[in-house]
Structure 1
């Protein structure tokens, strides 16, 4: 049973990773837009003195869930690939993405960190797509985990 789940995770890791990274990017862009609009509206009045720190509410749980799903997808996708650049790129992009997402919970959130997070998400999407293409065309790929 566990072996079947593991094979399925390996087989579809790139699809899961691509989808998760894409949804994360959409989530981040939409919530950034909503935060910008609500922040602009709240700054209209004087006496604004609350901070904009992130908390582990619904959105925080969603952020952590996306980080965990991304990690599982990268783990299984990197097990499947025979390309060292793709494997290292997946892990590097994931670590940059996860770190930049988690840093905002300690109150440090400059714009360049958000740009870094978006860039890592785009890189994860591109690398998962490249790995998907590579696993289709690779003669070395094990037939149990390659997507047919």
Structure 2
């Protein structure tokens, strides 16, 4: 039986989870408008929809852990962590209403995660012809 090496796929997993998170965030207002037109009584949003934020955060966390084990550039790992921390802050801030932030604030760290995972996959994997050693 063939085992899947998640470490070698961490950038694909991370970029995909971040992209799905971004789609989730962009789609939310549209889904609520549609829901408001269909249902006039009930909760504002389904509970499972809010849990998706946390699922994406957990998947992204492990993707960054695995990516940091294989990247040839330490700054890419730091950039991924900074983006993840910003994303986690925005998500938890939205859930706890700590400080007022625009809804679109979540887009910046999500796009950062996507960019740095793709960048790392393309340019910073040792063993590839484009291996970028730390300089």
TM-score range, shorter chain: 0.7 to 0.9
Select the residue among 15, 18, 21 that pairs with 1:21.
18
Structure 1 pair 69–87 and aligned structure 2 pair: CA distance change class (3 A) = same
Find out whether 1:88 has 2:92 as its counterpart.
no
Gaps of 5+ in 2: 38-42
How far apart, CA to CA, are the structure 1 residues paired with 2:55 and 2:115?
Answer: 21
SS in 1 for 2:72: coil
CA deviations 1:80-101 (Å, max 9, x no partner) are 1121221110000011011111
- TM-score of the pair, normalised by structure 1: 0.71
> Offset of 1:40 from its aligned partner?
7.8
Between Structure 1 and Structure 2, whose CA radius of gyration is higher?
Answer: 1
SS at match of 2:6: helix
TM-score, structure 2 normalization: 0.78
Cα distance in 2 for partners of 1:20, 1:123 equals 12
Compute the displacement of 1:19 (Å). 0.5
Structure 1 residues not aligned, in runs of 5+: 42-50, 141-148
Post-superposition CA distance 1:106-139 (Å, at most 9, x none): 1347443x33311000000000000001214217
Q: How does 1:123-134 map to 2 (within 5 A)?
A: 123-134=112-123
Partner of 1:104: 94
Task: For residues 50-103 of structure 1, give each alpha carbon's deviation from its aligned partner in whole angstroms, at most 9, with x where no partner exists.
Answer: x96x88x10122111111001000111111112122111000001101111111
Q: Residue 10 of structure 1: CA displacement?
A: 1.2
The alignment status of 1:138 with 2:131, answered yes or no, reads yes
Matched positions, count: 125
Q: Which runs of 4+ in 1 moved over 4 A?
A: 38-41
